[in-house]
Structure 1
């Protein structure tokens, strides 16, 4: 072989080997280099820090407003109505005469009874003198004493009938109805009208048996009336016996009515205190349902890991719900709970920060729009 040809072959072989080794080296380095994995961004959720507080429990029941006292006025003796002194709707004081029955014949009976009593007293006085002289027997004196007692009893009976001819109000109130007219003849027990005391009212309702044990007499009760008015009263009565049908207990709440408003007969709502409990006040947005239908909320631990807790509602509030069944201090998800699962790591954003970001974004957008116009 020609020497120059041999030299050319050697040069080509060396160059080929060098190029092959260079390519092979790059592939090896790429294989040894670890693959870069793009991390999936964490889901952002809005959270709220909450600390347990003492909350007042209530039970709300429906009821109605009744008069504190209401009575049918009835006559105690027979007679014809001679005078009507009070009209329907008139407010009267205790002791005021409402109607008066004719009492002419009773006045005559009263005069006769008084005369008989005087005669019996005179006979008894004479018998005592004669007894001292020994001129009459002991039984004669005893008979005259009995005669005096009988005459006194008859006089008292007639006097009561005369007094009862005037039918009087037993307490302060309003004659809400009157069912008689002048000249009507009434018999003992007939109704004249209905007297109502509306200076103090009572609101009655039925409390479930599971709650009645937590009630306390004289505690303040919030009352909401069907006419839009609201007030506070005092729990004055709790029945000792449950209703035979509903198994609930009757309660009465007294309500002062100094302005004498027409409230009797209105429906009312009673908000009765039941004691206190520990709970968290959280917005409505935290609440969800488990697959079993239980109420639940989603929480974050210190590692921002999602967990679920079953809760019970203590009561509702204008700001949301009071829940029990949670730890003393919690971080609860308020927005985004439906997009995360248990054990998932998330990026929490406090409710305050989220609100600030929204406001900031709104300002930036407004500034951009102004700049574009300029």
Structure 2
């Protein structure tokens, strides 16, 4: 009986229909699962970066050098004759002009020598006059006149010599400047050639600096310069000398920058920082934080172009300051990446926001799903 029930034709028809329904339902579920999987497939994701729109500005390209600030001239004043210093006529540090009396040596026996020479000259002059009259009257031979003239000339030479000796007891300033040192004081005995004082002429001053061989082509005589003088700040100067021979030890060239100092109030002998503007270029002022290296180790800055793609620009530092670094190598108008440059690479498409907008979304994720 059981066999009869299961083996009826209607039963098999029903089973077949049920199987078809199950297969249809299963196929629909599978299709929906595939569609769902396709719909939730991860979309391409782009990095969010902050950018700042910047415009290049004209900037001086500076050659910054370090050296010494030297006076125009330093002269050691020496005694031209021996004697004891009788008196100083200037104070230490006094400003003097060429020819001013610095100190006086005692004349001592020179006074007596001067009177003796003057007396002898007076005698020989009278003898010459008398001899000339006798020769004219025929009472003396011509040779006597020549002898009298020779004696008078010798007396004149002796007088000139002692006068010159006395003049050398006046120790005078050979140049204009200031009395930087008094080596011998009142009462000291000095011999011929002994140092008595030092005169320093620091108008103008000269900054002596060394230029590396790769930069010497940027320097020429006549270029303006700025010199940082101790306690006085920056003062204007001019390049007055450029050596044509490099130091074989350092491969550098010596140059001189002249700094006017009419008041002689600028100090000499100090270290000096010299800035020489060599040309004017268009540059951007950026923070050192935005400067990085590419895969080849080149220094540069990342920007975003009009299609929001990252560009890497190799840069050259023109000058540095407290507010940032001036660099060349960027487009005149550039959208510089200021936040997020460490997460992107050149050629990558990003979502670029202004710095202001980025600050408003500080809690946003680094990546955002592309729209």
Verify the 8 A CA contact 1:131 1:141 in the aligned structure 2: no
Asked if 1:274 is matched to 2:306, the reply is no
Give the alignment of 1:334-345 within 5 angstroms. Answer: 334-345=338-349
Aligned with 1:193 (options 191, 197, 209): 197
| Length-normalised TM-score, structure 2 | 0.75
Residues 59 and 281 of structure 2 are in contact (CA less than 8 Å); yes or no, is this contact kept in structure 1? yes
Aligned with 1:307 (options 297, 311, 333): 311
Equivalent position of 1:234 in the other structure: 237
- Which residue is 1:56 aligned to? 60
Alignment of 1:1-374 (within 5 A): 12=14, 16=18, 19=21, 23=25, 26=28, 30=32, 35-36=38-39, 37-92=41-96, 94-115=98-119, 117=121, 119=124, 123=128, 127=132, 152-198=156-202, 200-217=204-221, 219-225=223-229, 229-235=232-238, 237-240=240-243, 241-248=245-252, 249-256=254-261, 258=263, 260=265, 263-355=267-359, 357=360
Q: Please tell me whether the aligned partners of residues 225 and 257 of structure 2 are also in contact (alpha carbons under 8 angstroms).
A: no
CA RMSD of aligned residues (A): 4.1
Residues 1:312 and 1:168: Cα distance change in structure 2 (over 3 Å): same
Distance (Å, rounded) in 2 between the aligned partners of 1:127 and 1:322:
92
Displacement of 1:192:
0.9
* Stretch deviating more after TM superposition (30-39 or 57-66): 30-39
**Structure 2 counterpart SS, 1:42:** strand
Residue deviations 1:301-324 (CA, integer Å, cap 9, x gap): 332222333322222133322223
1:209-233 C-alpha deviation (Å, 9 max, x unpaired): 333332344544333345x541213
Number of positions where the alignment pairs a residue of Structure 1 with one of Structure 2:
353
Unaligned runs of 5+ in 2: 1-6, 365-371
Q: Deviations over 1:16-74 (max 9, x none)?
A: 48735853773686489692233233101122334443321222222333334322111
> Any conservation in 2 of the 1:220–1:235 contact (CA below 8 Å)?
yes
Displacement of 1:274? 2.4
Structure 1 residues without counterparts, runs of 5 or longer: 362-374
Offset, 1:342: 2.8
CA displacement at 1:347 relative to structure 2 = 0.8
Residues 19 and 108 (structure 1 numbering): CA distance in 2 closer, same or farther, change over 3 Å? same
